[in-house]
Amino acid sequence: MSTQRPDTRRNTRPLLICCALLLASPAPAQERQDTVEPITITITAPRLPRTLQHTPAAVTVADERDLRQARQGLALDAALNRSPGVLFQNRYNFAQNLRLSIRGFGARAPFGIRGVRIFVDGFPETLPDGQSQIDSIDLDSVERVELIRGPSSALYGNAAGGVLQVTTAAPPPAPFAELTARAGSHDLRKLSLRGGARHDAWGAHLSASRLDYGGYRDQSRTRKALLNAKLTHDIDARRSVSAVLTALDQPYGEDPGGLTRAEVAADRRQAAPNALALDSGQQVRQQRLGLHYRDRGIGPGEASARLFYTRRDFEQQLPFPGPSRLQYERDFYGTGLDYTANAGLGGRPLRFTLGIEAARQRDDRQRFLVDGSGGVTGQIQDATETATEIGVYGQADLALMDRLDLTLGGRYDRVAFDIDDRFTPDGAASGSRRFDELSFTLGLGHQLHPDHRLYAAAGSAFETPTFTEFSDPTEPQQGFDPGLDPQQALNLELGAKGFIGPGLRYELALFRVETRDEIVQVASEPDRFANAARTRRTGLEAALVYAISDRLTATAAYTRARYRFREFVDASGTDLAGRRLPGLPQQTLFAELAWRDPGGPYVILDGLGVDRVYADNANREPVAGYAVFNLRAGMRGAWQGTELEIFAGINNLTDRDYFSNVRINAAAGRYFEPAPQRNLHAGVRIRH
């Protein structure tokens, strides 16, 4: 690999054409004569449960088969790449967490997820300051994921990009026990155990797993154990209560760090020198208990109440000397109450929901100075960081006419930040900020034809700075930056969705997002943040699911987008107006061809094409695009109440060199985290 900049002209059409070939394979004539009736998909993520067809929003749903069938079992991204407008990175670095961006929001996150609200079984994984981690989600317990893009996410509060709602398995109607074992390249070993049953009014489901992964690169091992337990009780025909317990134990998750172009050319599997010298990585323990009460006996509707508490203990050594060792003990707790009912207005049907939710995050945080050999030379932070969020929201769906529906919603948020500095003698880094924000969403849906629906939507959204972004540049890693403000976004969207014939479901969306005061990394100081005056995001998203026959299904998702700074002068005085936002491709294409025999065997081929991106604000560091293909296959059978499945997969089928993560505005040109080349996995699942 050359150390010169790659010729990126080859990275757009060919990679998209290659992916499109997955959909070009003709079905056998006999199978083409088969017909598959359209299915009805009900979604709950936009606050009011509706069918996917009647929701005036861009929504993607992934079911249990998409999520787990012959998967490697490392991260959620493998199943959610089928959503247009979405980009995942960082699957193979278990110290930095999966990074998710929706319509360009979240791409700047140095670790974890920003700009997206995440819920698991109705309980938030997103903190009041806007940060999210999904390392505690047990993939083997997940049975459904809903992903909202655009204006409808305004009713969830502190995020501008969208909403990710994860639902884990409920107690089954019949008792079962299931064991899944996986092994693969780079010392991959994963063992999962699931089981559940119902008895009278009680139900339970338990999932536990352990992952050991040696990693493709040096200094990239991880070990992680997860537990997800759900207990339900039907008090009577109208009232029920459920409890969810999750636990994560990650004794080590190593961080290989980013490489320069020259280091990638020399050895793409190596770790950054400082990552090895400092043994960079993280240790995490987390537990969460959530309670959920439902009552359909209060008036004509349904009331729902939630209460949760999360504890997280975290230690991390970053891959550079200096202020790079940190630890915190976090308490995160909150509650929510909502009421949903049907009513009437002017003789027309009306459905509404009203709710209030509150959450508090309390981090007891410390940070230390480290020398080049990993020795601690001093401490620079000892503080309690507290963020509190209170939100009140309402949404209504009104049938204006037989074929015309109106959706109207609003939300008020108060987000308060406080730092109690215990390190400096006079508490100089102490301080507080408070933000009061109003958001709205408005949608119109027109049933053009029984099979075709048009919609238009608009919504406002905001994102506050996180505690990491709030750090004051005059007091490194301490205090508040007095010049950093929340970013404001206005989302506009036009869309169409429906069915063509009995087997083809489509979705189209045009979007435009105008953002003021967008929070961006400062290229000269990657751990510092500033407000860019204005940015603009425009794009086209298209998704198709074609049931060619009862065995053969083709899926495609395409995004063409333009993400630009409109007004932004960086710290060096360079005018970046018109430059592309870093880390975001102009085009992506996902395509999948899946053959599944009801009797047991299945074969699935998918491909993901990603256009080139830039690694820095000034667009001086281009990163080549890529197309990656994956193949999965398996066989299922049953005998005397026991089901057996044997499966295998090949990731990166064509052995493509590409990067699984690009570190935006990284210091010393360390932008690149190489992805594994061709790698294999196989497993067996036994269910009784």
**The Cα angle at residue 326 between residues 320 and 332, in degrees rounded to 5:** 140
Strands 162-168 and 116-120: parallel
pLDDT of 551-564, one tens digit each? 999 999 999 999 99
Domains recognised in the chain with CATH numbers = 8-244+255-308+316-380+387-687 (2.40.170.20)
Higher pLDDT, 495 or 522: 495
Contact, 294 vs 336, CB < 8 A?
no
pLDDT of residue 42: 57
Q: Is it the case that residue 9 has pLDDT exceeding 50?
A: no
Share the mean pLDDT of the chain: 88
In DSSP notation, 596-613 reads E-TTS-EEEEEEEEE--E
Residue 28's pLDDT band, with cuts at 50, 70 and 90, is very low
Which residue do the tokens 């005059």 mark? 474
pLDDT of residue 234: 96
pLDDT of residue 484: 84
Residue 527's pLDDT band, with cuts at 50, 70 and 90, is low
Going from the C-alpha of 231 to that of each of 172, 559, 585, the distances in angstroms are 11, 40, 43
In DSSP notation, 406-456 reads EEEEEEEEEEEEEEEE-SSTT-TT-EEEEEEEEEEEEEEEEEEETTEEEEE
Please state the separation of Cα 617 from the chain's center in Å.
23
Fill in the amino acid letter for 530: A
pLDDT of residue 157: 87
Q: Is it the case that residue 475 has pLDDT exceeding 70?
A: no
Lowest mean pLDDT among 234-248, 562-576, 586-600, 613-627: 562-576
pLDDT of residue 10: 40
Please tell me what DSSP assigns to residue 30.
Answer: H
The percentage of residues in the chain with a pLDDT greater than 70, rounded to a whole number, is 90
Higher pLDDT, 111 or 86: 86
pLDDT of residue 456: 95
Which residue do the tokens 């695009």 mark? 625
Residue 59's pLDDT band, with cuts at 50, 70 and 90, is confident
Residue 277's pLDDT band, with cuts at 50, 70 and 90, is very high
- Which DSSP helix (H) or strand (E) runs through 8? none
pLDDT of 377-432, one tens digit each? 999 999 999 999 999 999 999 999 889 999 999 999 999 999 999 988 888 888 89
Q: Is it the case that residue 480 has pLDDT exceeding 80?
A: no
Q: pTM of the entire structure?
A: 0.89
Lowest mean pLDDT among 33-37, 385-389, 467-471: 33-37
Which residue do the tokens 């729902």 mark? 304
